[in-house]
Amino acid sequence: MTRIDDINVNANMSKEKKSFIDRLKIIGPGAIITASFIGPGTVTTATRAGASFGFALLWAVLFSIIATIVLQEMTARLGIITRKGLGDAVREQFTNPILKYGSMWLVMIAISVGCAAYMAGDLLGTSLGITTLTGIPSNILGPIVGVIILFLGLSGSYKLIERVMITLIVVMSFTFITTMIIAKPDLGELFKGAFIPSMPSGSIIMVIALIGTTVVPYNFFMHSTMVQERWNKPSDLKEARWDTIISISIGGFITAAILITAGAMIQGMEVSSAADLSVQLQPILGDWAKVFMSLGLFAAGFSSALASPLGAAITVSSVLKWENGMKDKRFKTVFITIMAIGIISSGLGFNPLDVLLFAQALNGILLPVIAILLLIFMNNKKRLGQYTNSLKANILGGVVALICTGLGLYSLIDAIKAFMGA
């Protein structure tokens, strides 16, 4: 373990200011986090939000990006300074047995349930694209795709395929941004939606879903582990911070572009299929819009479907201190279990877009618990020394946790009222 007191390399660092291009070159773990949350859930949720409420929920996208940057910066700092993951912090934070094991099991169960929901949504999102092109039902294709991903994930031979899929996502994202520009959205309404929060009737689940599709708790555990492979000393914190800010901001811009495009092109339209999702791309792609959207959903789902079981396995293994990674049979067991739940769920005939929305909403409800625990960990001076949260970081993190908690409670009360009135 690196001793903070023994490291003093800041004085030797170059004082030259780095250009924006130089900062782009340091992008690493943050880009993986962005690729993880830009999945079919993001595409469908942002499209439905724009189609149903225009630009009114754009503020939720802006908030989710700020929240993601704030929280992911904390997890990156934790990993670099302590040389341990977030799971280790969960296990070591409390000495009281009730708090210790209660927090451990709460985190493991919450993350695993969230990952299982994501898994089902990603498989259905992946199959949704193929279904549109072939006509084969998604509840048949979903399990087939799941089994393929399971074997690729366990063998480790998915690397090349994943790179191809991420390339397709980049191309799809470029297309959305171009279409957004062509759509010429009303700038007044756009800025109003971005900076004046509002919650139209029936939008609470959509707001939570927009946040849940971006601020993904299992990404905290993955990020705190991955940064250790790239950076290993306090002087690297600045690079890690820029990696997080640039990568997450790009992902947020993509999400915003999808919502804005839908709000400008198909507001008022009910979105229930990949063909409906593709309508917004017709101005630039014409008859190829449906094919492109189908391939894009397949790419987004395929790459994201690898992250969900991996995120659950990393979380459980780090909390329980399994140190051999994918070589550990217990790690593989968690990976396979999450995959199996996703495969079975995807074959039960649920509406793919509804499952995706449910997964994001569930994630948004679980988020406050992880955010509050993270704030506790980041104020542990014994663990982080001088690199604990500053007052500014605590205020930002506290506001994020408070808003997420409020939205989660609002959602639960709304659901109880609906149940009582049913």
pLDDT above 70 as % of the chain? 85
Q: What is the pLDDT of residues 310-349, one digit of tens each?
A: 889 889 998 998 877 677 889 889 999 999 988 998 888 7
Res 421 pLDDT > 70: no
pLDDT above 90 as % of the chain? 32
Task: At 36, list the tokens.
Answer: 């993880």
50 in Cβ contact with 259 (< 8 Å): yes
| 291 confidence band (pLDDT: 50, 70, 90) | confident
What is the radius of gyration, based on Cα positions, of the chain? Answer: 21
The Cα-based distances of 332 to 109, 307, 311, 315, 342 in angstroms read 17, 14, 12, 13, 15
- Residues 244 and 28: their CA atoms lie apart, in Å, by 9
3-state secondary structure 191-252: HHHHHCCCCCCCCHHHHHHHHHCCCCHHHHHHHHHHHHHHCCCHHHHHHHHHHHHHHHHHHH
List the one residue out of 407, 325, 312, 305 whose CA is nearest residue 366. 407
33 in Cβ contact with 286 (< 8 Å): no
pLDDT at 416: 67
More confident: 304 or 12: 304
Neighbouring residues of 374: CB distance < 8 A, sequence distance ≥ 6:
71, 74, 75, 86, 220, 397
- Residues 39 and 271: their CA atoms lie apart, in Å, by 17
Neighbouring residues of 23: CB distance < 8 A, sequence distance ≥ 6:
242, 246
| Listed range (44-53, 65-74, 277-286) with the worst mean pLDDT | 277-286
Strand ranges, E, within 75-187: none
- Residues 334 and 104: their CA atoms lie apart, in Å, by 16
57 in Cβ contact with 205 (< 8 Å): no
pLDDT at 8: 44
More confident: 311 or 379: 379
43 in Cβ contact with 300 (< 8 Å): yes
List the one residue out of 8, 27, 10, 14 whose CA is nearest residue 250. 27
The Cα-based distances of 15 to 12, 226, 260 in angstroms read 9, 27, 40
71 in Cβ contact with 397 (< 8 Å): yes
| 255 confidence band (pLDDT: 50, 70, 90) | very high
pLDDT winner (highest mean) among 32-41, 203-212, 408-417: 203-212
